[in-house]
Amino acid sequence: MEIKREYERWLKLATSDAEVSEELRRMDESQREDAFYRDLSFGTGGLRGVIGAGTNRMNIYTVAKASQGLADYLKKNLSRPSVVIGYDSRIKSDLFAKVAAEVFAANGVTVHIWPELMPVPTVSFAVRYLNACAGVMITASHNPGKYNGYKVYGPDGCQITTEAAGEILAEIQKLDIFSDVRTGDFDAAAAAGEIRYISEEVYTAFVEAVKNQSVLFGEEVNKDVAIVYSPLNGTGLKPVTRTLREMGYTNITVVKEQEQPDGHFPTCPYPNPEIREAMALGMEYARTCNADLMLATDPDCDRVGIAVKNRLGEYELLTGNQVGLLLLDYICQQRIKHGKMPEDPVMVKTIVTMDMGEQIAEHYGVRTVNVLTGFKFIGEQIGKLEKQGKADSYIFGFEESYGYLTGTYVRDKDGVNGAYMICEMFSYYASRGITLTDKLEELYKTYGYCLNTLHSYTFEGSAGFVKMQAIMQKFRSGVDSFGGKRVEKLLDYASGIDGLPKSDVLKFLLEDNCSVVVRPSGTEPKLKLYISVSAEDRETAEMEEKEIVNSAETFL
């Protein structure tokens, strides 16, 4: 792309958004380069980028172009296409949803749009419930407030496949961002029935589907446990509190400063429940209220983080791996106890998720399916089971990045479901005088101590993108050991392994049942290291993990 020419074209033609026009006029040379050195990449995660002016930014023009490409793809493959649209609390999410709806309607694609902001799993649910051909969610998940994104779902309610993403991208690349995009008036399209608001019936059906995931099967538990909940200024407030209250959990305190939707995230600049800082205010509330359990969902409510009180009375954050292991064990023991385990039970996890999950699954006679990083691959496995007439075989899926799903009613991780099932599990054990940290220690005693950590390294802009590629090549060129532990095998997923799609991921299997996974993020300018260490105890594991990380960082 010729940066100067494209920039000047935008100056002339991008006049319908005053903020974009003003930003263009203020840009210096380095800002112009970063904003125009490429088109915002479209992949299986759709679009994600910084909000602003330019081809490498999220704005009404890049959103409209992506929507035109998706509309062309749908019309090419279907006679009467339709799409579901949802949006979160981020800056301009409602505007981008409206722009997308206008483009789809102008292209003869029927639009079903949520009338207010909603969690990401409700888009997956509504696609299936309304028999739509596709879904679009305007969200940047847990990224800082300067980001937004455009996530695309297929007719199965699962994020689009690599193949579909490639075909949609081909349609997008044919378009000129200013002259080839058809659009119209939202209100006129709504009046004509081309844009339709999704009814309360669909929302209630989603909540009922979540409630049906209970594995108590009639058992009584103490639902008066004190819960502190934070939606982190996102979409979770209404569906999470409604689900919990309808299931009997009424002792809920919501973190006031993080209760209402706010794309600026004033008290949690990085609204990710994986990050301690995002959980800090909720933990303060928990101490003040003497709460039993603290929950937080990210802005689009597909991830859940928790803090629990340990035996010393201190609040302890649990990782996504730890919560996933606890839920897996709880679901398995309850299903077996009540005779509700299917004939061929299946648990699905990602390759970077704690391997202890496989040991727990094996103990209960559950088959494990490992997939690439990204919950869409877990959703894909549910779809495969459904085609075999075995959807009921799926009992749980989880990933280390705080994503969980216990049912097949959606094909993406669901923070509403996760929050509810965590509360049920917590109440079950609390009724028996057991804390979640107690239960976790019991699992470690049974299966051995395992430590999994994630380390992220940011590489911004065009120079950062090039550097990440060079780093991956360094790792590929051959590593003998990490932290003194010999590399026994290298799995390079770029070539496709075990029938999985090709992906820029390296997994080093080390001696002593340890591993290192290296991958560039598909949605952020980051390189990620996933370290897994098995050891006799926590202290040894932490020491060995530190040595492995230090060794890996020499490649950065």
Residues forming the active site: 141
In this structure, the number of other CB atoms found within 10 A of the CB of residue 471 comes to: 17
Structure tokens at 176: 């000129």
Residues 6+ apart with CB under 8 A from 87: 93, 94, 96, 97, 114, 117, 118, 137, 138, 139
Distances (CA, A) of 81 to 99, 368, 457: 18, 36, 41
Inter-residue contact 312 to 359 (CB < 8 Å): no
Question: Angle 224-410-115 (CA atoms, 0-180°, nearest 5)?
Answer: 85
Question: Angle 62-82-185 (CA atoms, 0-180°, nearest 5)?
Answer: 55
Query: Alpha-carbon Rg of the chain, whole angstroms?
Result: 23
- Produce one character per residue of 376-385: b if its CB has 16 or more CB atoms within 10 Å, e if not: bbbbbbbbeb
Distances (CA, A) of 422 to 133, 326, 425: 32, 9, 5
In this structure, the number of other CB atoms found within 10 A of the CB of residue 468 comes to: 20
Inter-residue contact 104 to 224 (CB < 8 Å): no
Structure tokens at 269: 């600049």
Residues 6+ apart with CB under 8 A from 203: 118, 122, 239
In this structure, the number of other CB atoms found within 10 A of the CB of residue 271 comes to: 32
d(CA 22, CA 148): 20
Which of 139, 41, 138, 45 is CA-nearest to residue 83? 138
Segment (H or E) for 313: none
Q: Is 205 exposed, middle or buried (0-12, 13-18, 19+ CB in 10 A)?
A: middle
Which of 214, 210, 236, 233 is CA-nearest to residue 223? 214
Inter-residue contact 187 to 97 (CB < 8 Å): no
**Crossing angle for the helix pair 237-246 and 415-430, to the nearest 10 degrees:** 40
Give the alpha-carbon dihedral of 336, 341, 345, 347, to 10 degrees. -60
Can you tell me which residue has the tokens 């995660």? 45
Structure tokens at 61: 């023009």
In this structure, the number of other CB atoms found within 10 A of the CB of residue 289 comes to: 14
Length of the chain: 556
Residues 6+ apart with CB under 8 A from 419: 229, 236, 240, 243, 244, 295, 297, 304
Segment (H or E) for 368: strand 367-371
